Amino acid sequence: MSQQFRSVVRGVGKYVPENEVTNVELSKTIDTSDAWISERSGIRARRIAPRGMTTSFLAVEASKKALDDAGVSAKEIDLVIAATLSPDYFFPGIGSLLQHKLGMNPVGAFDIRQQCSGFVHGLAMADAFIRSGQARKILFCCAEIQTTIMDMTTRGRNMAVLFGDGAASIVLEGIPIASDAERPRADNTVRGVIDNITGGDGGGAENLVMRAPGTSSPDFINAADIEEGRRWPHMDGQTVFKNAIMRMTEVAETLLTRNGLKPADVSLMVPHQANLRISEMVRDKLGLPPEKVFNNIHKYGNTTAATVPLCLAEAVEEGRLKQGDLLLTVAFGAGFTWGANLVRW
Ligand code: UT7
């Protein structure tokens, strides 16, 4: 049998722009209110990157911290995975920029476009690369600057008030497995990724979509796309809301059940941060107490791919996620896409 590996998270790092904009400040330029935003979503503030700051800049800063935390040099990384829906360029992706800016060897570097499911899908992919022996040290970065792709006026208020900018990275290491007892499982204490589920239903694509630029426009992007608002994201909030609760609950239950676990066995659940009401409804359906769920949406809003690793970085800082804990991450986003990961931290 060929050598097998387990994927261990060695380090985490986050970076958010300094500029914090509260709901009250936002309501000076958008016809909204602190009450509307906080009651419906739990959001109180978000970070907004200064004009000209790029997504790869945030990605580099978060990744430097993750590498430091892991005690791993950029030259040791043999694969880069980046998750973003707001890259510096339409192409190439930020993975390539990150590889170059961090002075890495000429290793593979790719972007995934899984939107709010970016972390849960990307972790499943990183784990697959490590298990198969194709990579030993992976830098996985989730980064977004969304405030430049949103319509930050009253016309776009149903989305503009929910999203924010930020980045977080993790470093994963493949550890050789000498025997079956060294494989991470729900019923032992071996560190590493235990199991992942990725799901999707493209039938939901039109409910959360940014149509231009893209080949759905005859010119990829033209003046009419801009004038008629197709260059702004569109969201049917209530449809997304209902699907998010249903899919996140379902995928978490499936992942736990197939590993012989009950929600109570989990040390910490980190749900995607789209709306505090979504997180709380998923938590209630799973029957988890508030102290077993980590949320930071009140500070950052929805940073899309970056929400889950931003929570992980802060949960570690706050001592709420410790080595040996059983971590459940779960997310839902545009596509529709969803997924979950079970990790012995
Ligand atoms: O990350 C994955 C993607 N995103 C999500 O998971 C988000 C899922 N959806 C949601 O979280 C919620 O649907 C929202 C927070 C987006 C909206 O909450 P809602 O209770 O579904 O509100 P609504 O869209 O039904 O809008 C209610 C009212 C409307 O006015 P009328 O038609 O009742 O007169 C909107 O025009 O609120 C109005 N509205 C606002 N008012 C003040 C919409 N946006 C705003 C705003 N400020 N920012």
CA 237–ligand 1 middle distance (angstroms): 6
The residue whose C-alpha atom lies closest to atom 14 belonging to ligand 1 is 237
Around 197, how many Cα atoms within 13 Å sit in the side-chain half-sphere? Answer: 23
Cα–Cα dist 71/205, whole Å: 40
Catalytic hit among 121, 142, 243, 272: 272
pLDDT digits (tens, 9 = 90+) for 43-88: 999 999 999 999 999 999 999 999 999 999 999 999 999 999 999 9
Q: How many CB atoms lie within 10 A of CB 148?
A: 15
6-26 in b/e form (b: 16+ CB < 10 A) is bbbbbbbbbbbbeeebebeeb
Cα-based distances in Å from 282 to 53, 165, 167, 236, 290: 35, 24, 24, 20, 11
- Average pLDDT of the residues in 5-14: 98
What number does the ligand 1 atom closest to the CA of 161 have? 48
- Average pLDDT of the residues in 116-135: 98
Active site (annotated) includes residue 272: yes
pLDDT digits (tens, 9 = 90+) for 261-281: 999 999 999 999 999 999 999
* Residue 1 banded pLDDT, cuts 50, 70, 90: low
CA 161–ligand 1 middle distance (angstroms): 10
CA 256–ligand 1 middle distance (angstroms): 32
pLDDT at residue number 32: 97
The residue whose C-alpha atom lies closest to atom 3 belonging to ligand 1 is 333
Catalytic hit among 23, 275, 302, 341: 302
* Residue 2 banded pLDDT, cuts 50, 70, 90: confident
Average pLDDT value over all residues in the chain: 97
Active site (annotated) includes residue 302: yes
- Residues lining ligand 1, Cβ inside 6 A: 32, 36, 40-41, 116, 157-158, 161, 208, 237-238, 240-241, 244, 274-275, 278, 302, 333
Phi-psi region of 115 (alpha: psi -120 to 50; beta: other; left: phi over 0): left
pLDDT digits (tens, 9 = 90+) for 290-336: 999 999 999 999 999 999 999 999 999 999 999 999 999 999 999 99
pLDDT at residue number 321: 98
CA 109–ligand 1 middle distance (angstroms): 37
Entry pTM: 0.97
